[in-house]
Amino acid sequence: MRPGRAEIVGGGFGGLVAAAALAERGWSVRLHERRGVIDAEGYGIAVQPNMMLIFRALGIADAVIAGGARIDRRDSLDGAGNVVLSRKTERSPYRIDRRHIVRLLARRAAEAGAEIGLGSRVTGISPDGSVTLGSGDRLRGDLVVLADGAESSLRASLGLLKRRVWQRDGAVRVTVPRTDEEIAEDEVSGTAMIEAWSDNRRVLYCPVNDTENYVLLGSLVDDRAGKATPIDPKVWSRSFPGLSAFLARVAAQADWDEARWARFQTVRLKRWWKGPVAVLGDAAHAMPPYLAQGAGHAMMNALGLAVALDDEPDLASAFRAWERRERPVTEHTQRWTRIYGNTIFLPRPLKRVSIAAERRIPWIGRQYLHAAHVVPTGCAHLVGE
Ligand SMILES: Cc1cc2nc3c(=O)[nH]c(=O)nc-3n(C[C@H](O)[C@H](O)[C@H](O)COP(=O)(O)OP(=O)(O)OC[C@H]3O[C@@H](n4cnc5c(N)ncnc54)[C@H](O)[C@@H]3O)c2cc1C
């Protein structure tokens, strides 16, 4: 179809890739981000092969990697701090600060001609393609892309929500400066992603660039002491005595003003579009982060949408082709990330059975890695290059 005007709501992974990909294909793009800067909550992102292909398609792969950290191994610790399992990192060797990635995406979108409106909160959207801003201005797009995240305040006005399922757990994420000792140790024995589980709490941390560690502290929804921010290092050290010095550092050094505990959720829509409005990213298909693919799917579906619009004669057939192609892969990940998440909280004997099953039946592992090895729509020409 002939490119026209696109109004995009949300300057996260989904909105920014949509802005860059549509502008590259001749659309006149205006992106609205409610915040005054392009930034992102949540810090480290595990970059998997499917995401890498998207970055390559946008010409920013080298710059993305240059700002992140390569992780050489994953160490699982018990509460006392002993390494119980250490494995080389094959699946997602890069952890990258999200702020770094979204800034590069924003630059790419602007270079391609997209107009990025900061401090531009959208207060209303309607299925006829009109978008109302906080200033009261009303705009109309030939295409509207809604990518305002899992807590979307605008999705409801389209009447597309089918299901929103809350997980038993959530997490708070922060960064803390790396110490000179950590940097020196990494130079000798390689970088590690550390993960420890105890009392249904989880501590995960690893370098995310030259100077910072990304830290995720996960807990159940009814664990009031575990959910509190700033964390109480005594509460967390009772579960992880071997990490008490690190936890004291996290409590003292993280920027707690920005940090919030967020509960994991799964979102499903009846359909991914209505009239000229396409919904993508967490607003359409939020998922718990155990397989680290939420941003991957947001970006795949944004690029996939731009490709479908390029290939099809009109908006409705492009939307249909897009949803038919992208939705099954997205829902496969949603299903398997929940399965994985449910195994985490099994009683110990059942957990052992589930780990043994995963070792004995390679098919299970392949389901967990399915999305990571998908070639995103619009990236086939990059394979083998
Ligand atoms: C603990 C945790 C760890 C994760 N780890 C990974 C990982 O390793 N790898 C991975 O791929 N994914 C991971 N994810 C998932 C990933 O963060 C999300 O899937 C991704 O951020 C979704 O991108 P999005 O663009 O849809 O939404 P968001 O990133 O939420 O962006 C939405 C944007 O819209 C803006 N906005 C909202 N409302 C409005 C409005 N009314 N007007 C204008 N702008 C608005 C917001 O300010 C925001 O910038 C993780 C998630 C969690 C919770």
Residues 60-77: tens digit of each pLDDT: 999 999 999 999 998 988
Tokens of 184: 């020196």
The pLDDT, as a whole number, for residue 320 is 98
pLDDT higher than threshold 80 for residue 132? yes
The pLDDT, as a whole number, for residue 284 is 98
Q: What is the mean pLDDT of residues 199-204?
A: 92
Which tens digit of pLDDT belongs to each residue from 299-331?
999 999 999 999 999 999 999 999 999 999 999
Q: Which is the closest atom of ligand 1 to the Cα of 92? A: 8
Which phi and psi (to 5°) does residue 106 adopt?
A: -65, -40
pTM: 0.94
Q: What is the mean pLDDT of residues 106-133?
A: 97
Q: Which is the closest atom of ligand 1 to the Cα of 286? A: 19
Q: What percent of the chain has pLDDT over 70?
A: 98
Which residue CA neighbors atom 9 of ligand 1 most closely? 292
Centre of ligand 1 from the C-alpha of residue 282, in Å: 6
pLDDT band at 358 (very low <50, low <70, confident <90, very high): confident
Domains of the chain: 5-67+101-165+265-382 (3.50.50.60), 168-262 (3.30.9.10)
Which tens digit of pLDDT belongs to each residue from 236-256?
999 999 999 999 999 999 999
The pLDDT, as a whole number, for residue 42 is 63
Centre of ligand 1 from the C-alpha of residue 295, in Å: 7
Count other Cβ atoms within 10 Å, centred on residue 151.
12
pLDDT higher than threshold 80 for residue 41? no
Q: What is the mean pLDDT of residues 212-219?
A: 95
The pLDDT, as a whole number, for residue 87 is 81
Residue pointed to by tokens 């998922």? 287
Residues with a CB atom less than 6 Å from ligand 1: 9-15, 32-35, 40, 42, 45-46, 121-122, 147-149, 153-154, 171, 173, 216, 262, 281-283, 289, 292-296, 298
Q: State which of 148, 193, 217, 333 you would mutate to test the pocket of ligand 1, scoring each by most atoms of that ligand within 8 A of its C-beta.
A: 148
Region of residue 166 (left: phi > 0; alpha: psi -120 to 50; beta: else): beta
| Position 334, amino acid | Q
pLDDT higher than threshold 70 for residue 216? yes
Q: Smallest Cα–Cα separation from 182: which of 174, 196, 192, 197? A: 192
Centre of ligand 1 from the C-alpha of residue 267, in Å: 13
Region of residue 276 (left: phi > 0; alpha: psi -120 to 50; beta: else): alpha
C-alpha triplet 133, 136, 138: angle, nearest 5°: 65
- The C-alpha R_g of the chain, in whole angstroms, comes to 21
- 356 compared with 103, residue with greater pLDDT: 103
The packing angle between helices 294-311 and 49-57, to 10°, is 40
The pLDDT, as a whole number, for residue 7 is 98
The pLDDT, as a whole number, for residue 359 is 80
pLDDT higher than threshold 90 for residue 365? no
Tokens of 106: 């924003």
Q: State which of 7, 8, 9, 13 you would mutate to test the pocket of ligand 1, scoring each by most atoms of that ligand within 8 A of its C-beta.
A: 13
